[in-house]
Amino acid sequence: MNRPTLARMLRATLPSLVTFPLLAGTPDFGPNVLILDPADRDAQGNVDAVYHLQERNQFGADRRCILLKPGDHHLHLKVGFNTQVAGLGVSPDEVQVHGDLEVNAQWFQGNATHNFWRSVENFAITPDDGDVKWAVSQATAFRHMRVHGNLSLWDGGWSSGGFLADSRIDGVITSGSQQQWFTRNTDMAGGWKGGNWNMVFEGVTNPPEGEWPARPYTVVAKTPVIREKPYLALISGECFVMVPGLESDVTGVNWSLPTRRIPLGDFHITHVGESAASINAALAAGRHLLITPGIYRLQESLQVTHANTVVMGLGYATLIPGQGTPALSVADVDGVTVCGLLVESGPVNSPTLVEIGPAGSSSSHADNPTFLHDLFTRTGGFGPGRTSCFVTINSHDVVADHLWLWRADHGPGRGWTSNPVANGLIVNGDRVACHGLFVEHTQEYQVLWNGEGGRTVFYQSEFPYDPPSQDEWMAPSGTCGYASYKVADHVKTHTAWGLGAYAFFHGDITVDSAIEAPEVPGIQLHHLLTFQGRGKVLHVLNQRSGLPGNPSRLTE
């Protein structure tokens, strides 16, 4: 049987295989959510069916979420595209998986640089052979996890990820071929082994030894402000969304931190095909939003107007605007959380896909910031689309915790005029922080930072592969190309650690500087690098060249 035929059969039969109720009366999560009890006899077969459907489904329409009830599970978990696996315990230790957890690149001849859009969170894993194999690249989250063993971030081939946070790893973490990696607030009991271009550690215990630039390590001792990503938990037969509390100056994990429990009954649970007007009516009434797996084509923006609203996507739920509006707009209010969403551009140009605060937002949210966790955007790959900017942050004090903003360089619909995007991220608000920022292939400044007091820990980017010619890719100042990370000329205060920009141009293209920023005392940029695969990057920062070699590094 050929693979397309098998995929069609699985797609037709999966809904009847994977729908298990949490308990009688629990709201319906829809046909794309598989909920497993430790006693389910068909659990392994259903998990395997999801994986076979999603293993190669890079740009397909299927979205899947696997939820594990508390208890001991005996499973071999392989995680494919557009799939989330999550435990339903109050802490990771309440869901124990004995078996394997694996992401590999066998589908792509061992090349894991395309292993995007998959995540695991909130369970403990005891691997049979002692090793979790997590060969991933961008838009992959390993969160709120306990590993009783080692964690290997490659499978022997290329890899280019990734994101690890709020986890405890008992054994050794091996980076292998990973070009770059970001680890935040993780207890690394067995330490870290390996490193290539840019490995950044924020708020971790037992970081690796060695200093930049001799070793590609950046260590930031504490995370100044964080609220971990919300998650589902089953407590005494009732399902809640757990919202961890706000923390300051954090090292390692704190799973005993008091959390806000929101009953699932306070959420509007969406289903594919539901109109944006219906969803907005629920948001206007003060409901939280849980977006079940699937693709939502929106005829108007989803509007978040109430403080402390939680907007949570399951299984890479995907929003696509149809009328040239943002897919999601958040008012200038306190404490909103947006997490677990993939936002794609539509056929009509949107000024931005996600807007946090309207233009001119002025309120302080220092005591109760808005958080963006695991928020991913793309244009092209699935087909043509267009937007001027992926994410625009106008509000103050926003914290972004893992973004991948991607103009597609492969797949259907890519091309200089087929999937145009000028900017990946524009920050106009003050005191905005980014932890784990990935932006790739946009056509002008990939990051344009206009606000004061900004902070980035870890940045990975690639310049666009496909400028038609040097004459058609010149900045307004007359320099060759656009810097990847641009701190605006008027900005007086900004800090960043571990910024990397890579060049793989298709033609004979030059970019003058990878990073541009005013050279004033209040701007402190640490551990910067460029890598030149094809084409030229003349300077790492402004007119400063890095150390000889590839990548080229600045010491400070």
Q: Specify the range with the lowest mean pLDDT, choosing from 23-27, 231-235, 344-348, 413-417.
A: 23-27
Question: If you average pLDDT over residues 297-321, what whole number do you get?
Answer: 98
What pLDDT score does 291 carry? 98
- Chain-centroid distance of CA 75 in Å reads 26
What's the CA gap between 293 and 80, in Å, rounded? 14
Please provide residue 123's backbone torsions phi and psi, each rounded to the nearest 5 degrees.
-150, 165
Parallel, antiparallel or unpaired: strands 192-193 and 223-226: unpaired
Residue 61 lies in a domain: yes
Residue range 522-533, pLDDT digits in tens: 999 999 999 999
What pLDDT score does 70 carry? 98
The answer to whether residue 2 scores a pLDDT higher than 70 is no
Same domain, 218 and 337: no
Residue 242 lies in a domain: no
Q: Are 86 and 231 in contact (CB under 8 A)?
A: yes
Q: Output the six-digit token pair for 536.
A: 């030229």
Same domain, 180 and 322: no
Residue range 266-294, pLDDT digits in tens: 999 999 999 999 999 999 999 999 999 99
What's the CA gap between 36 and 39, in Å, rounded? 8
Residue range 77-119, pLDDT digits in tens: 999 999 999 999 999 999 999 999 999 999 999 999 999 999 9
What's the CA gap between 86 and 213, in Å, rounded? 37
Residue 255 lies in a domain: no
Same domain, 198 and 329: no
What's the CA gap between 84 and 91, in Å, rounded? 17
Parallel, antiparallel or unpaired: strands 295-298 and 267-269: unpaired
Among 55, 102, 121, 462, the one annotated catalytic: 462
**Count of domains observed in the chain:** 2
Same domain, 306 and 405: yes
Instruction: Give the single-character DSSP code of 114.
Output: G
Q: Are 513 and 540 in contact (CB under 8 A)?
A: yes
Same domain, 111 and 195: yes
What's the CA gap between 107 and 109, in Å, rounded? 6
Residue 142 lies in a domain: yes
Question: If you average pLDDT over residues 535-544, what whole number do you get?
Answer: 96
Domain of residue 338 covers 302-554
The answer to whether residue 3 scores a pLDDT higher than 50 is no
The answer to whether residue 24 scores a pLDDT higher than 60 is no
What's the CA gap between 273 and 401, in Å, rounded? 29
Q: Average pLDDT of the chain? A: 95
Instruction: For residue 6, give the H/E element and its range.
Output: helix 3-18
- This prediction has a pTM of 0.96
Residue range 461-488, pLDDT digits in tens: 999 999 999 999 999 989 999 999 999 9
DSSP codes, 141-152: EEES-EESSEEE
**Which has more confidence, 26 or 79?**
79
The answer to whether residue 7 scores a pLDDT higher than 70 is no
| pLDDT band at residue 345 under the 50/70/90 scheme | very high
Same domain, 428 and 525: yes
**At which of 161, 192, 226 does a domain end?**
226
DSSP codes, 235-283: ETTEEEEEEEPPEEEE-S--TTS-EEEEEGGGEEEP-TT--HHHHHHHH
What pLDDT score does 21 carry? 47
- Is 472 one of the catalytic residues? no
The answer to whether residue 358 scores a pLDDT higher than 60 is yes
Of 408, 300, 274, 392, which is closest to residue 344 (Cα–Cα)? Answer: 408
Report the phi/psi class of residue 548: left, alpha or beta, with left for phi > 0 and alpha for psi in -120 to 50.
beta
Q: Is 360 exposed, middle or buried (0-12, 13-18, 19+ CB in 10 A)?
A: exposed
Q: Is 169 helix (H, G, I), strand (E, B) or coil?
A: strand
Beta bridge partners of 232: 241
> Is the link from the previous residue into 213 a cis peptide, with omega within 30 of 0?
yes
Residue 243 lies in a domain: no
Parallel, antiparallel or unpaired: strands 238-244 and 231-235: antiparallel
What's the CA gap between 306 and 230, in Å, rounded? 18
Same domain, 218 and 350: no
> Rounded to whole angstroms, what are the CA distances from 535 to 159, 208, 328, 507, 512?
22, 33, 36, 7, 11
What pLDDT score does 22 carry? 52
User: How many other C-beta atoms can be found within 10 angstroms of the C-beta atom of residue 128?
Assistant: 11
Of 371, 258, 378, 265, which is closest to residue 310 (Cα–Cα)? Answer: 371
Residue 293 lies in a domain: no
Same domain, 209 and 339: no
Residue 291 lies in a domain: no
**Which has more confidence, 513 or 211?**
513
Q: Output the six-digit token pair for 548.
A: 């000889």
Q: Are 349 and 324 in contact (CB under 8 A)?
A: yes
**Which has more confidence, 3 or 137?**
137
C-alpha torsion 70→76→82→85, nearest 10: 10
**At which of 188, 206, 226 does a domain end?**
226
Same domain, 206 and 307: no
Q: Output the six-digit token pair for 204.
A: 């971790």
3-state secondary structure 243-256: EECCEEEECCCCCC
What pLDDT score does 26 carry? 62
Q: Output the six-digit token pair for 376.
A: 């991913």
Question: If you average pLDDT over residues 53-76, what whole number do you get?
Answer: 97
Question: If you average pLDDT over residues 428-440, what whole number do you get?
Answer: 98
The answer to whether residue 125 scores a pLDDT higher than 50 is yes
Of 426, 429, 423, which is closest to residue 444 (Cα–Cα)? Answer: 423
**At which of 197, 226, 255 does a domain end?**
226
Residue range 158-208, pLDDT digits in tens: 999 899 999 999 999 999 999 999 999 999 999 999 999 999 999 999 999
Same domain, 323 and 213: no
What is the rounded end-to-end Cα distance, in angstroms, of the chain? 57
Same domain, 63 and 190: yes
What pLDDT score does 555 carry? 79
Same domain, 221 and 306: no
Question: If you average pLDDT over residues 380-393, what whole number do you get?
Answer: 96
Residue 178 lies in a domain: yes
The answer to whether residue 20 scores a pLDDT higher than 60 is no
